[in-house]
Amino acid sequence: MSSNIKAPKKLIEVALPLDDINKASAHEKSVKQGHPSSLHLYWARRPLAAARAVIFAQMVNDPGGERGYFSGKTRKQADQERERLFDIIRDLVKWDNINNEAVLKRAYDAICHSWHETCELNKGKPGFDSNTLPILHDPFAGGGAIPSEAQRLGLQSVSTDLNPLALIINHAMTDFPSQFIGVQPIGPESKAKKQKTLEFDNNGLHGLCEDIFRYSNIVKEISYQKIGYLFDDLKEIRHGNIIAWIWARTVESPNPAARGRHVPLVKSFVLSKKKNNYVWIDYEIDESMEYSFVIKSGTELPTGVDGTINRSGAQCILTNTNIPLSYIREHGKQNKLKYRLMAIVAEGKKGRDYFAPSEMSEELALSANPSNYPSSEIEHWAGCTNCVVYGYRNFEDLFTKRQLLALTTFSDAIKETREIIIHDALKAGMPCDVTPAIEGGHGATAYADVITTYLAFSLDKMADLGNSFCAWEPIAQCPRHLFGKQAIPMVWDFAEANPFSNSSGSWSTFISGIVKGISKLSVTYAPNSTRGIVYQADAKENNVIKEFSVISTDPPYYDNVPYSNLSDFFYIWLRRTLRDIHPTLFSTINVPKMPELVANQFRHGGKDLAEKFFLEGMTDAITNMANNCHPAFPVTIYYAFKASDTRGTSTSSSGWETFLESVLSAGFTITGTWPLNTENATRMRGQGSNALASSILLVCRKKDSTIGSISRRQFQKELREKMPEALETMIGGVEGSTPIAPVDLAQAAIGPGMGIFSQYQAVLNQDGSPMSVHDALILINREITDYLNPDSGNFDNDTLFCSSWFDQYGWSEGPFGEADTLSRAKGTTVDGVKKSGVIESGGGKVRLMKWEKYPGDWDPKTDHRMPVWEACHHLIRALNKQGETEAGQLLARMPEKGEAIRQLAYHLYTLCERKKWAEEARAYNELITSWHGIVSASHEIGHSGTQTSWIEE
């Protein structure tokens, strides 16, 4: 960071309401309808709530006055102002507020206020125009979460990526919608008696969404006229639409007695797991060893419905012969695997109806004769594309003939419909401007480009749920999409969805999801909102990032996801449909592979070379960020945290340390490390699983080259001086707000410690060698532990005794002699601690009382010996037995104990986690995560006793 630039610390470098962000991110995972991610699948997307909160906290100044630029505020005033910013974040991350203009305006105003403050400090310097907010650049744009949320907050977004699939998704999220805000629908309304009514957020995109819906009906009609007869095999016997056909792959039985017959390879025969109405497939074998499938139902599932194949191999239904997987793989490589129809699923009056297949149904499906479909080889990545080892080497091999014909037919219909859109747009008075949408056009051609692109997205969804690797889901009774995981696994029995139905796997369902996703995009709020900038670029190359860019990015993590390998599945269909519209974007036959920043050992000649390629490339990319980032703002980088333990005195994740080393060598200093949990909140909090974060957010600043080196001893001294205040800010707050749960504190607290370590050119050991990140983490974690230890605080002597005894014995009993010695060392006595009501003593033994045994009628106002230990566990008892309101009533009678209770709970959680006492840790974690509600309840009741700074009068 230039010494000439005055850069106030940003909120994200000091404190965050992390628990609120994590809970909102986890909740977002359960949102099934109307999420912008429903436009198109992409892998490892950041939750929008997390991206939005991070960008906001990255843009606003921390009110604490760090670096001395803002003076005149007391600590209490700074805490209150910080809490106001926390409240903005708490509102921002709520899913129901995603397009709430009042909430977005508060956030935008706060960003502008901080920007004006910063510009005032840097008057006349380049990059500090108070009338124009800085742009936000994501050089690994991927699924578009970060750029779209920057746009939602009123910033100009720049999205770059190597992958053309990522680029077209970012165009669809941040670029195309803004070009047609407020247009009126021009498409012909459906000829049906009742056209489906669409519901939208008021974001100015109603007309665009309506036209996508209307023209999608035309695509469906054109396609049905051409191939509809192939999907009507039950039309003559019933009126309900077919939802799906259930198929099984087959292989020739290795037993000669089967006389070359193919037998089914089925993982599960179950069709419905609806309680008391189970449905499954059975088979009957006649005297000539021919078999047929039948549908059965009952109140319970019989044995034998689990299928004929598992990880050990398969079994022939005709001869009971074992069939090794190696045999199946060999037949697959010789293209000798076939498939056979087992069941038909149709819409019923009360749910699903299931039918046994007829010969006509199977013959109709097999009669399809597709042509002009895209052909592309699957680049194999062991463990991710296991279909290849069974002979499915090309992407077209993943589809049945009827599925290929459906996809090519819909693709042709989309291109045909584009001409209709242009005609209708001109007729409606749109400009006769041939500038394409991708170049910023606003005329009839560009409008057709945009709608056609979204229709092509629906075709990709059809490919995802319309291939022969989609298993049947017996609980929801619908097909599963291919990419439930970041891989193409082998699937034996599969569901072929009917694109002309109105159920899961249908064209209409895909369009509905896309339209609802567009309705949640925000492109209209910010006063100076402009279209997002999107272009193809390699983050490793120079000049990709423009000077004075704010940077937030989620780079690929090592070998987690084979992005380009999987992207080809969608790319080939997009290219077939959109190549004439976006020729530059779809100029290559496949997605670029070699320069992709992923440690692909199969592409780079082994693990060592792949690791070298990744680390060198990532260092280049991060160096580019350091060289071009805006000097007034930190850079935020998401790191996919797989498995580590950065608590206690060691760290076991070499990947984490290596990544930190690469960030430091690129010229950054690290000022924050925030754990972002995106798993289910109930599992994390309610079950006390203490699961590690799914990713870590690194907050970085360009290193000041004028700062030299320090010794190990000086580094330890700075840690002791600065870490307590940083930790207190993290876990503190006003009105009892606890921004960080105990499960996340150990990781988040590394940030300020790494900030001290990384600001220097080096920390030198006694022998003159530079200290490693590994050793620095050990010292930082030791300081965190010391801070949370009651011995280092102002706790009463009884609490000090209890904490040490708990560390040694937990809730078990121990010898009185040891207790007597320990109590004297802590300045108390066993009898005195017993009088406080927290231990049981007798028979030469001493035991801490568990909180369940604490009396329910305890009154802190009449307790004349009340250690913090006792108050803490009474609060836990009240919370667990009666809830937050009762716990709040109790806290209201001892408000002076609040801060000490909270710090003790943090310490005891850390201690339990270190000892792997999961059940005990849960009680302390739940107390901290419920703290805000407990204190709010105490305020409603009113306080009795002394009020301290953590309570606002």
**Parallel/antiparallel/unpaired status of strands 550-553 and 635-639:** parallel
Q: Please give the single-letter amino acid code of residue 937.
A: A
Who wins on pLDDT, 942 or 131? 131
Whether the per-residue pLDDT at 683 is higher than 80: the answer is no
Does 753 lie in the same domain as 646? yes
Is it the case that residue 496 has pLDDT exceeding 90? yes
Q: What is the pLDDT of residue 647?
A: 38
**8 Å CB contact between 331 and 337:** yes
pLDDT number for residue 72:
60
Q: What is the helix (H) or strand (E) element at residue 266, kind and residue range?
A: none
pLDDT in tens, 353-404: 999 998 889 999 999 999 999 999 998 888 888 899 999 999 999 999 999 9
Average confidence score pLDDT of the chain: 86
Query: pLDDT for 271-284, tens place per residue?
Result: 999 888 899 999 99
CB 860, CB 837: distance < 8 Å: no
Cα–Cα distance for residue pair 164/721, rounded to 1 Å = 50
Pairwise pLDDT comparison (716 vs 936), residue with the higher score? 716
702 vs 657, which has greater pLDDT?
702
Residue 81 shares a structural domain with residue 34: yes
**What's at 894, amino acid-wise?**
M
Indicate the burial class of 705 (C-beta count within 10 angstroms; 0-12, 13-18, 19 or more). exposed
| Residue 750 and residue 843 in one domain | no
Q: Which residues pair with 674 in a beta bridge?
A: 697
Distance separating alpha carbons of residues 913 and 254, to the nearest angstrom: 54
The mean per-residue pLDDT over the stretch 348-356 comes to: 88
Residue that the structure tokens 């749920």 belong to? 465
DSSP output for 197-231: PP---SSS-HHHHHHHHHHHHHHHHHHHHHHGGGG
74, 37, 65, 55: which is closest to 135 by C-alpha?
Answer: 55
99 and 149 share one domain: yes
Residue 365 maps to a domain = no
Give me the pLDDT at residue 644, please: 36
pLDDT digits (tens, 9 = 90+) for 185-223: 999 987 654 445 455 555 588 999 999 999 999 999 999
d(CA 354, CA 271): 8
Query: What share of residues in the chain are helix, strand, coil (percent, to 5)?
Result: 45, 15, 40
pLDDT tens digits along 65-94: 655 556 667 778 888 899 999 999 999 999
Place of tokens 């194949």: 309
Q: What is the pLDDT of residue 359?
A: 87
The verdict on 751 and 837 lying in the same domain is no
846 with 764, same domain: the answer is no
- For the chain, the maximum distance between any two Cα atoms, rounded to a whole number of angstroms, is 97
> Are residue 756 and residue 795 in the same domain, yes or no?
no
Say how far apart CA 626 and CA 551 lie, in whole Å: 9
Q: Which of 755, 786, 817 is the last residue of a domain?
A: 786
Tokens of 69: 């630029």
Residue 535 has pLDDT above 50, yes or no: yes
Greatest mean pLDDT among 22-31, 458-467, 786-795 lies in: 458-467
Hey, what are 605's tokens? Answer: 């000649």
Residue carrying the six token digits 């160096």: 623
Give me the mean pLDDT over the 576-585 stretch: 95
Q: Which percentage of the chain shows pLDDT scores above 70?
A: 89
Residue 306 in any domain: the answer is yes
- 577 exposure class (CB count in 10 Å sphere: 0-12, 13-18, 19+): buried
Cα(141)–Cα(119) distance, integer angstroms: 28
Among 132-141, 323-332, 596-605, 927-936, the minimum mean pLDDT is found in 596-605
What is the C-alpha end-to-end distance of the chain, expressed in Å?
41
Q: What is the CATH number of the domain that holds 556?
A: 3.40.50.150
Residue 242's nearest CA partner among 510, 459, 495, 511 is: 495
Residue 405 lies in a domain: no
Residue 403 phi/psi, 5-degree rounding, is: -65, -40
User: Rounded to whole angstroms, how far apart are CA atoms 841 and 851?
Assistant: 16
Tell me, yes or no, whether 924 and 810 share the same domain.
Answer: yes
Measured CA to CA, the distance from residue 501 to residue 508 in angstroms comes to 8
* Token reading at 726: 């940083």
* Residue 370 DSSP one-character state: -
pLDDT band, very low/low/confident/very high, at 820 (cuts 50, 70, 90): confident
251 in a structural domain:
yes
Same domain, 69 and 172: yes
Do 627 and 744 fall within a single domain? Answer: yes
Which two three-digit tokens encode residue 346?
Answer: 């149709």
Give the pLDDT score at 510: 95
- Same domain as 653, residue 554: yes
Tell me: pLDDT of 951 over 90. Answer: no
**pLDDT of the residue at 487:** 86
> Token digits for 334?
């010789």
Question: Could you write out the three-class secondary structure of 808-869?
Answer: HHCCCCEEHHHHHHHHHHCCCCHHHHHHCCCEEEECCEEEECCHHHCCCCCCCCCCCCCCHH
531 neighbors 440 (Cβ within 8 angstroms):
yes
* CA 409/CA 433 separation, integer angstroms: 29
Q: What is the pLDDT of residues 214-271, one digit of tens each?
A: 999 999 999 999 999 999 876 655 556 899 999 999 999 999 999 999 999 999 999 9
- Is 207 part of a structural domain of the chain? no
Tell me what pLDDT residue 736 has.
Answer: 43
Which distant-in-sequence residues (6+ apart) come within 8 Å of 134 by Cβ? Answer: 115, 127, 155, 548, 549, 550, 630, 632, 633
- Statement: residue 2 has pLDDT above 70: no
How many domains, the chain?
A: 3
Please tell me whether residues 894 and 804 are part of one structural domain. Answer: yes
919 within 8 A of 688, measured Cβ to Cβ: yes
Q: What is the pLDDT of residue 684?
A: 33
In angstroms, rounded to a whole number, what is the distance separating the alpha carbons of residues 656 and 417? 50
Q: Among the three residues 302, 327, 357, which one is the final residue of a domain in this structure?
A: 357
pLDDT (tens digit, 9 = 90+) per residue, 752-802? 888 899 999 999 998 889 998 888 888 888 887 777 676 666 688 898 889
Handedness of CA 770, 774, 780, 785 (dihedral sign): negative
* Average pLDDT value for residue range 634-644: 74
Euclidean distance between CA atoms 98 and 51, whole angstroms? 12
- Asked whether residue 110 is domain-assigned, the answer is yes
Whether residue 539 is contained in a domain is answered as yes
| Residue 172 DSSP symbol | I
pLDDT of residue 652: 40
Q: Which helix (H) or strand (E) holds 280?
A: strand 278-285
Give the contacts of 857 (CB within 8 A, at least 6 positions apart): none
pLDDT tens digits, residue range 877-907?
Answer: 999 988 888 989 999 988 888 888 888 888 8
- The residue among 357, 374, 392 that closes a domain is 357
Strand partners, 138: 159
Of 442, 441, 440, 433, nearest to 183 (Cα)? Answer: 442
* Domain interval for residue 322: 234-357
Q: Does some domain include residue 435?
A: no
CB burial string 781-810: b at 16+ within 10 A, e below: bebbbebbbbeebebbbbbbbbbbbbeebb
